[in-house]
Structure 1
């Protein structure tokens, strides 16, 4: 099982890196859009009608992609006070429960985000000229990645491998 797990972890590391680069690119692009909007409105006395909705969609993407990468790397929000007093075995159980709950949350994000996208499929965003489903695609994409990365953490822990935390890559260290 470990060779398959190592291959999967390497693939998901590439997915995680791509998601992080996309999130960073989205943040930069959103900043450019907002800067252009401010310049056009206050200097040119005109307005870019598409900049605000495009920026909000980009914000959804970089928030959800960044959150998914945070899940994979162990940067997500947690309450660790109790873990300082528990033995290692109990900590691993609580980590696994946490990852399972986060995986279920990611699956719910993807499922219900897809339902929202399908319900808005026929609606057209007037300022962008695209389907209203575009508003909910970050929820679907981010939910899928949160689910995948949480399942990866559970599989690595079940195989006796440490989960990645704070940027380390224990898969290569353990192999």
Structure 2
């Protein structure tokens, strides 16, 4: 039972954080509109909270796209290729993407080290910038994890079809 709960949490982690972030954005913006037009005043913190929540929601959405293979790709052209060639193109693209993600993790670690050494706080909330900015490291690390999970599943399934493609989109046709 605990294992199933952990599997569900792992399965819906990015969705939950993305939805939570978008809900926070919606509530903050709604409150700001009510305060400005209803009470002729403004909340000092709502724009900052909304901006931080939006960035976190976007990065978690990007990780979700890695897991579900929803990232923008020109798959129409790739799908015209024979299966082996299409597989090669997808793997090459993913290796480049993995390399970029590793590069971004390294850059984000360097950036977070600077933020930790030379502390700076957000203007309204007064929290250390290190915490909201850590999403770059978290996001790209999770993208790497999800990409590796995708390839581990593809490898375990016998490397049939194009990596990460859903079975209904994979084609098992003779090579031409």
Q: Matches of 2:142 and 2:155 in 1, distance apart?
A: 20
Is the 8 Å Cα contact of residues 40 and 48 (structure 1) preserved in structure 2? Answer: yes
Q: Matches of 2:148 and 2:130 in 1, distance apart?
A: 27
TM, length-normalised to structure 1: 0.79
Superposed CA deviations along residues 103-134 of structure 1, whole A, max 9, x for unmatched, are 22222232222322332230011301101113
**Cα distance change, pair 167–58 in 1 and its aligned pair in 2 (3 A):** farther
Is 1:141 equivalent to 2:152 in the alignment?
A: no
Q: Matches of 2:39 and 2:159 in 1, distance apart?
A: 58
Q: Matches of 1:63 and 1:125 in 2, distance apart?
A: 20
Q: Matches of 1:167 and 1:58 in 2, distance apart?
A: 35
Displacement after TM superposition at 1:92 (Å): 1.2
1:90 corresponds, among 85, 88, 91, to 85
Q: Matches of 2:10 and 2:100 in 1, distance apart?
A: 20
Q: Which has the larger radius of gyration?
A: 2
Q: Which runs of no fewer than 5 residues in structure 1 stay unpaired?
A: 1-6, 169-175
Larger RCO: 1 or 2 (CA < 8 Å, sep 6+): 1
- The corresponding residue for 1:38 is 33
RMSD of the alignment, in Å? 2.5
Q: Secondary structure at the match of 2:75?
A: coil
2:55 corresponds, among 55, 60, 63, to 60
Is the 8 Å Cα contact of residues 23 and 62 (structure 1) preserved in structure 2? Answer: yes
Displacement after TM superposition at 1:16 (Å): 4.3
Divergent runs of 4+, >6 A: none
How many equivalent residue pairs?
159
Is the 8 Å Cα contact of residues 99 and 154 (structure 1) preserved in structure 2? Answer: no
TM, length-normalised to structure 2: 0.79
